[in-house]
Amino acid sequence: MKQFLALTAAAALATAGAQTTTTTVNAIPVTPISTGLSGVELGLTGGYAGGLSGAVFVHVPNVSGPFGVKAEASYARVSGTGAINTSDDLIVLDADRSGSRTVFALDGTYALGQVAPGTNSLVYAGGRYGLFRSVEDYGEGLSNTYSTNAFGVGAGVMLSYALGGGLSLVGDLGIDQFFRSTITQTTVRVDRTDVDTITTNDGSYDAISNRFVRPGTVFKARIGIKTGF
């Protein structure tokens, strides 16, 4: 995740650096090499996205007119029935159930302009890549772990209200849809560890996917801050 954020920041800075302006010297158009970090936005939000969630994003607006690019990485923790569905298995009620959801997003953005004095808005849409994991831990070294990596798509709207000093309050409402993907089940027993791979066309896939609360449609609502350069 740290490598992703580093690459994201580097890409954003490179894009911003590539934006140029044209001036005139003695009636001759002159284009400087770059305008530095002008326009790049860094943000941090927190709230709900299938669980308590936090996200960091880099946004380069106005890459071409009102169109921009936004990269984001988010992380959410889930527990209980948010991680393992127990509706059809009473035995698992004694287990410690937990999970995590890490999502990387790359979106195109479109600036809508001001919707109220001091309040700007944009819409975004793009691709998603999620890393999902849930564990039912019975103690004494006994556990089941389910994991999957899934592609998806998403869209949403962001509102920002200028606070001054280069800071803005940000609200983010959106929806993501993740596609079915292969699930890996790791069962740890006293004497051995079994690893099973359940593909999407496997006869047991629906049952395993129901037990392992793997995100499908995820609604998100976050609030935070951003700063621009």
CATH code where residue 195 lies: 2.40.160.70
User: Is 25 a domain residue?
Assistant: no
pTM: 0.78
Q: Which of 1-5, 100-104, 157-161 has the lowest mean pLDDT?
A: 1-5
Q: How many CB atoms are closer than 10 A to CB 35?
A: 13
User: Is 46 a domain residue?
Assistant: yes
Q: Which among 109, 204, 107, 197 has a CA at the least distance from the CA of 152?
A: 107
Judge whether residue 179 has pLDDT over 70.
Answer: yes
pLDDT computed for residue 141 by the predictor = 84
User: For 120-146, how does the pLDDT look when each residue is reduced to its tens digit (9 = 90+)?
Assistant: 999 999 999 999 999 999 888 899 999
User: Is 105 a domain residue?
Assistant: yes
User: Is 30 a domain residue?
Assistant: no
User: Domain count of the chain?
Assistant: 1
Judge whether residue 5 has pLDDT over 60.
Answer: no
What's the mean pLDDT in 208-225?
92
pLDDT computed for residue 11 by the predictor = 44
Name residue, tokens 């941090």.
44
User: Is 80 a domain residue?
Assistant: yes
Domain extent, residue 66, equals 2-19+35-228
User: For 56-85, how does the pLDDT look when each residue is reduced to its tens digit (9 = 90+)?
Assistant: 999 999 899 999 999 999 999 999 888 988
User: Is 28 a domain residue?
Assistant: no
User: Is 59 a domain residue?
Assistant: yes
pLDDT computed for residue 90 by the predictor = 53
Judge whether residue 221 has pLDDT over 70.
Answer: yes
User: Is 10 a domain residue?
Assistant: yes
2: region left, alpha or beta (phi > 0 left; psi from -120 to 50 alpha): alpha
Q: Quickly list H helices, the chain.
A: 2-18, 205-211
